[in-house]
Amino acid sequence: MASKSFQPEVPNLQADMRLAGDAELERLLGSALFQQVPFNLAVIDRDFHVLAANNNFEEYFGNWRNHCCYEVHKRSAHPCAHCQAKATFEDGRVRVSDETGVDRHGRTCHYVVHLAPLRGASGRIDYLIEMTTDLTETRSWQREFDVLFERVPCAAFVIDREFRVVRGNEKFRQTFGEPQGKCCFEVCKRRKVACRKCIATQTFADGGEHTSHEVGTHRDGSPAYYVVNSSPLSRGQEGVVHVIQMITDWSESCAGCTIFTRPWSAIRPRELLPLTPKGTLKFLMRQREPCWTGAPGNCPPPHAFARCCRSSSMVPK
């Protein structure tokens, strides 16, 4: 199978490299560093034979001697359909990819692989060094996070610095529709430009958490009244890279609201009693100036709500 002679039992890495038939390979790789790196390391040739590997690699994938990389990683008899190693041999570029294979115990494993060329004195790429890191446990955490993100009982979504919705959970999609690469202000408010007072902008700037009362549009076109919380999710060299926002939609509660056209101080106590059929005021909105008058049980239009509603108070029975 292999194009070069291998012994079934090899005492150490230097012996492995000598058996590979190339003294330059021994020069390129120091055995001490090769063994001490905290991830799986292997060297393959142009025929995809595994010529050398450290102990971490063998403990993870099992016996590699006299085998090709696809036999060791995938338990396959044929090279991978989209072989990243072949592409790196051709253009000399470093490549990183997520892979799924089989570990030494026959279990499915997930790992990230880095492929880097090893050039000889002539500049020709005869070998690649392959570095793999296990992601199996990380994938398990990712699945748990996905379940939590999708099932949390509020609309949640992630945006980048361009305000583009990177991901929205099921509740978000049910409330505002499919984001499909749109910006948050397009999805939540049907706007063409970013909001003038945007708490996501504040989070991107200072890395803090911010809260705001907003008015938007449901996927069916009805007005949406909600509270949104903004928090940093991931950071890069330029600061916050992604922001996660969580929405509490209280549009249904707003169905029992009464919007007054007079300042709070001018409202008399006896006016509070007949506002709802049961004599209970769910939410009492305070405003700065007259803007809209509505009958009990009706909601104000979005533009009026955004202009006049500043706070809410619960009034007990």
At 59, which CATH number? 3.30.450.20
Read off the pLDDT of residues 241-290 as tens digits, 9 standing for 90 and up: 899 999 998 877 655 554 444 444 454 544 443 343 433 333 344 333 33
Which of residues 110, 135, 160 is at a domain's end? 135
Residue 98 lies in a domain: yes
Same domain as 259, residue 242: no
Q: What domain count does the chain have?
A: 3
pLDDT at 31: 63
pLDDT at 148: 83
Residue 3 lies in a domain: no
pLDDT at 295: 43
What lies within 8 Å, CB to CB, of 152 at 6+ separation is: 169, 171, 246
Q: How far is CA 133 from CA 15, 138, 139, 312, in A?
A: 25, 11, 12, 52
Same domain as 263, residue 238: no
Same domain as 199, residue 89: no
Q: How far apart are CA 82 and CA 110, in angstroms?
A: 17
Residue 1 lies in a domain: no
Same domain as 112, residue 31: yes
Q: By the 8 A CB rule, do 36 and 59 touch?
A: no
Which of residues 249, 284, 299 is at a domain's end? 249
Same domain as 259, residue 245: no
Q: How far apart are CA 247 and CA 188, in angstroms?
A: 10
Residue 142 lies in a domain: no
Profile the chain (317 residues) by mean pLDDT over runs of 10 residues: 36 48 60 80 94 92 94 92 91 89 89 90 90 80 80 91 92 91 92 91 94 91 91 83 91 57 47 39 38 43 42 33
pLDDT at 66: 94
Q: By the 8 A CB rule, do 118 and 82 touch?
A: no
Which of residues 199, 228, 249 is at a domain's end? 249
Q: How far apart are CA 17 and CA 50, in angstroms?
A: 11
* Of the candidates 154, 217, 221, 224, the residue with the CA atom closest to the CA atom of residue 187: 217
Read off the pLDDT of residues 103-119 as tens digits, 9 standing for 90 and up: 999 988 888 899 999 98
Residue 263 lies in a domain: yes
Same domain as 238, residue 160: yes
Is the overall model pTM greater than 0.75, yes or no? Answer: no
Same domain as 183, residue 233: yes
φ/ψ (deg, to 5) at 281: -95, 115
Same domain as 194, residue 259: no
Same domain as 225, residue 285: no
Domain that includes residue 196, residue range: 152-249
Residue 76 lies in a domain: yes
The CB density around residue 314, as the number of other CB atoms within 10 Å, is 8
Q: How far apart are CA 57 and CA 104, in angstroms?
A: 10
Q: How far apart are CA 133 and CA 121, in angstroms?
A: 30
Same domain as 310, residue 258: yes
